[in-house]
Amino acid sequence: MKTIAFASRNAKEILRDKQNLYLGIGFPVILLLLLTAIQSNIPVDIFEIEKLTPGIAVFGLSFISLFSGMLIAKDRTSSFMLRLFTSPLTARDFILGYTLPLLPMALAQVTFCFIVAIVLGLSFNLNILLAIILLIPATVLFIGLGLLCGSIFTDKQVGGICGALLTNLCAWLSGTWFDLDLIGGVFKAIANALPFVHAVDMGKAALARDYSASFLHFWWVCGYAIAIMAIAVFVFTHKMNSDNV
C-alpha cells in the first residue's frame, strides 16, 4: 500500500508536467515523421521505416531518464524529501515507487512510436510485439540511468546531463542517424561497448526476423540494465542513509 501510494504520486507528478508529454511522446514522433518524409524524397537505407523505428523508440527512452532524474533530483533538493525520509517508507518502497510508474509510461511511449510507424508504412506483424517486449530491459536501463543521475545531481544538472548529454550520446552512438561502419575505428568500438546500439540493433533484428542476432543484443542490454539499476539502487540507498540527503 505504501509503495502504491508513493508510485501513484510519482505518476501524477510526471504526467501533469505537460513538457514531459511533449518531449517524451511528441519529439520522437516528430523525428519519425520528419525522417520518413526525407526518406520518401531522398531514399537512404538507414532511414527505411523498419530500421528507423527501433532507433527512434530507443532515442525516445532517453527522455524517460530525464523525467525520472528530474523528479528524484527535485524531490531530493526540496523539503518534501525530508517528509518522505521521516516516514516509514523503506529504500525498497522508494526505488519501486520511482520505477513502477515509469515502466508502463516507457512501454506506452515505445508502443506509440511503433503505432505511428505502422501508420507510416511499417508492416504490421507479431515481430513488432516481439521488438516491444525485447525493449523492456532497455526501458529498465534508462529508468536506472535517471534514478542514478537524480540521486547524485541537482535538477539543473540532471537537465544538462540527461536532457543534453544522454540524448546526444544515445542519438550518435546508437547507429540511428548514420551507419557506424561509415566512421568505424574507436568511435564504432565505443558505440559497440555501450548499450544504445545494441538496443537499436535488437529491435531492428526482431523486425527482420533475425531472432538469433536479436537475442545476442538482448543480453548486452540486459547486462547493462542490471548493472546500472544495481548501481542506482546502491547510490540511492547510500544517499538515503547518509547525513547529506
Partner 1 sequence: MSAIKITNLRKEYKDKAAVKNLNLTIEQGELFALLGVNGAGKTTTIKMLSCLIKPTSGDAELLGHSIVTQPIKVKERINVSPQETAVAPNLSVSENLELVAGIYGNNKFDTKKKAEEMITSFGLSDIAKSRAKTLSGGWQRRLSIAMALISEPQILFLDEPTLGLDVLARRELWNIIRKLKGKVTIILTTHYMEEAESLSDRIAIMTNGEIKAIGTAEELKKQANKDNFEDAFVTLVEKDGAL
Residues near partner 1, by CB under 8 A: 1-2, 4-6, 8-9, 12-13, 16-17, 78-80, 82-90, 93, 241, 243, 245
Minimum gap (Å) between residue 21 Cβ and partner 1: 13
Minimum gap (Å) between residue 89 Cβ and partner 1: 6
Minimum gap (Å) between residue 42 Cβ and partner 1: 43
Nearer to partner 1, 5 or 230 (CB): 5
Among 170, 160, 212, smallest CA distance to 195 is for 170
Among 113, 117, 161, smallest CA distance to 139 is for 113
**Region at 184 (left for phi over 0; alpha for psi -120 to 50; beta for the rest):** left
Distance CA 45, CA 159 (A): 33
Q: Nearest-5° angle of CA 170, CA 175, CA 180?
A: 125
CB of 60 closer than 8 Å to CB of 110: yes
Nearer to partner 1, 33 or 91 (CB): 91
Minimum gap (Å) between residue 141 Cβ and partner 1: 26
Nearer to partner 1, 75 or 201 (CB): 75
Nearer to partner 1, 89 or 118 (CB): 89
Minimum gap (Å) between residue 61 Cβ and partner 1: 23
Distance CA 196, CA 191 (A): 7
Nearer to partner 1, 40 or 154 (CB): 154
